[in-house]
Amino acid sequence: MLWYIINTIEIIGFPHLVYKYRKIKNTERGGKLKINLERQVFVCSLGEKVRIITKVEEERPFEERNFKVFVDGNEVKIEKFRASGLSYELEIGAPAEAGRHSGIIEAVDGAKCGFDCFEIVVTKE
């Protein structure tokens, strides 16, 4: 039988962001996924799309359902998804308000999970 220990960690690293991240450890096969974002800061205008390119160091390919994106603590819809080898491109809509916005991308694969943080700067023009 597999035993899981579920801990809740509050990650407070950006303004206006408190995100509860579930860390799951499996005594037989669990672990952490390593996610590497190509860019940490995205600059865009109101109404534009934000293209997030990430790599997940895992042997098997991932699907859109393995990813979640959060902006200012709220989950946002992944509008487009493309996989190429171990690189993944996710497209989301820019936040509706100008200013700085904090984001988290999360990848989950069974008992393994990982995340990385990014920032979106939305300009008025």
Estimate to the nearest angstrom the gap between the alpha carbon of 95 and the chain centroid: 15
Whether residue 19 is contained in a domain is answered as: no
Whether residue 38 is contained in a domain is answered as: yes
Q: What's the rounded Cα separation, in Å, for the pair 5 and 120?
A: 33
Tell me, letter by letter, the H, E, C secondary structure of 26-69.
ECCCCEECCEEECCCEEEEECCCEEEEEEEECCCCCCCHHHEEE
Whether residue 45 is contained in a domain is answered as: yes
Q: How far is CA 110 from CA 32, 36, 86, 104, 125, in A?
A: 11, 19, 17, 19, 42
Whether residue 21 is contained in a domain is answered as: no
Residue 103: predicted pLDDT: 96
Whether residue 14 is contained in a domain is answered as: no
Instruction: Count up the domains in the chain and report the number.
Output: 1
Q: Answer yes or no: is pLDDT of 9 > 80.
A: no
Whether residue 26 is contained in a domain is answered as: no
pTM for this structure?
A: 0.73
Tens digit of pLDDT for each residue in 60-118? 889 999 999 999 999 999 999 999 988 999 999 999 999 999 999 999 988 889 999 99
Domain coverage including residue 94: 31-123
Whether residue 25 is contained in a domain is answered as: no
CATH number at 103 reads: 2.60.40.10
Q: What's the rounded Cα separation, in Å, for the pair 41 and 50?
A: 10
Tens digit of pLDDT for each residue in 44-70? 999 899 999 999 988 788 999 999 999
